[in-house]
Amino acid sequence: MATVEKLKEHLKKAQSNLAEASKKDDPNEVRKLKKKTKRLARKTSKITATEKMAELKKKKKKDRKTTSE
């Protein structure tokens, strides 16, 4: 399983590649890189959300309610 740091590195690289491809006006490449950046962004946010929920599950129910507000 990939770590969040590695995914963020890949995301930054994909975003820079997207910026370069948008200058070249290659619509197929731009579309492909947009999809890749969105996919990587979703993956990183999913992993961070899962970690956050795991931390909240460790706390008691009363404590979870006070921290979420």
Residue with more model confidence, 42 or 1: 42
**pLDDT tens figures, 10-65:** 999 999 999 999 888 788 999 999 999 999 999 999 999 998 988 888 877 777 67
pLDDT at residue 69 greater than cutoff 60 = no
> What is the spatial distance between Cα 17 and Cα 68, in angstroms, rounded to a whole number?
38
- How would residue 9 be classed by pLDDT, with cut points 50, 70 and 90? very high
Whole-number pLDDT of residue 25: 79
Q: How many CA atoms lie within 13 A of 3 on its CB side?
A: 3
Angstrom distance (rounded) from CA 66 to CA 12: 35
- State which residues form the domain around 49: 4-68
pLDDT for 66 equals: 65
The total domain count for the chain is 1
